[in-house]
């Protein structure tokens, strides 16, 4: 029976999970801090929406730049390998033979395999990069996919703790409770992608959120806000 693997190189999953968790934790913390300071519900919503917009754009631009830089580094390494294959083909082939024998091949088999790989220069570049650096120049993640995933999921996560306020409630406890539920659900969903126990992922994210929200709640309580009016 054959089997399939999840796409671990496309860049969308990491960006989506990171974006959703960051959006949740960021705005839960903002709501906790501003709410503890005694701000009015309208101010809490304004702060949360501002945090959503700023955070979503920041995450998207950061992801795009990060993934683009990573891809450019892979391309730079590929150019180095092409130059080595051009200037020292015998040495590169001997290096590949050594890597194949270290994997368990016999010397004659490794020599034959390395010679066959080197018949195609681009295949040789890919094989060397894969075995030497653990990267594949043909499997680079998309910066745009990572940016869009991060933007959308951050926005989705950030709006969760604001839902009670947007629905007309003014209870800080309601906002924090809905945010905590969002953390639990997000952690459970993320765990399913890695075949981990759902409750472990849920508990981990909840703990992270509680720590962050607790810190900002303390800051808000200590600083407070001036009289409204």
| pLDDT tens, residue order, the chain (229 aa) | 444 445 555 567 778 888 999 999 999 999 999 999 999 999 999 999 999 999 999 999 999 999 999 999 999 999 999 999 999 999 999 999 999 999 999 999 999 999 999 999 899 999 989 988 888 888 888 999 999 999 999 999 999 999 999 999 999 999 999 999 999 999 998 888 777 888 998 999 999 999 999 999 999 999 976 544 4
Sort 224 into a burial class: Cβ within 10 Å, 0-12 / 13-18 / 19+: exposed
pTM, two decimals, is 0.82
Q: How far is CA 193 from the centre of its chain?
A: 13
Sort 102 into a burial class: Cβ within 10 Å, 0-12 / 13-18 / 19+: exposed
Contact 44, 50 (CB under 8 A): no
pLDDT value, residue 76: 92
């Amino acid at each position: 029976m054959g089997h399939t693997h999840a796409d671990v190189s496309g860049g969308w999953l990491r960006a989506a999970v990171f974006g959703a968790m960051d959006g949740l934790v960021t705005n839960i913390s903002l709501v906790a801090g501003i709410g503890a300071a005694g701000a009015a519900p309208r101010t809490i919503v304004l702060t949360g929406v501002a945090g959503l917009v700023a955070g979503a754009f920041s995450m998207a631009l950061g992801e795009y730049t990060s993934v683009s830089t990573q891809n450019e580094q892979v391309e730079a390494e590929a150019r180095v390998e092409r130059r080595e294959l051009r200037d020292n083909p015998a040495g590169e082939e001997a290096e590949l033979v050594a890597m194949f024998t270290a994997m368990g091949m016999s010397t004659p088999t490794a020599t034959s395999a390395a010679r066959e790989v080197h018949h195609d220069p681009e295949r040789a570049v890919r094989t060397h990069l894969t075995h030497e650096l653990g990267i594949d120049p043909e499997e680079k993640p998309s910066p745009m996919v990572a940016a869009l995933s991060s933007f959308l999921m951050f926005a989705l996560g950030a709006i969760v703790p604001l839902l009670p306020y947007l629905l007309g409630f003014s209870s800080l406890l309601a906002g924090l409770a809905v945010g905590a539920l969002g953390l639990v659900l997000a952690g459970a969903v993320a765990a399913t992608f890695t075949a981990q126990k759902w409750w472990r992922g849920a508990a981990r994210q909840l703990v992270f959120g509680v720590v962050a929200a607790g810190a900002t709640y303390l800051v808000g309580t200590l600083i407070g806000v001036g009289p409204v009016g």
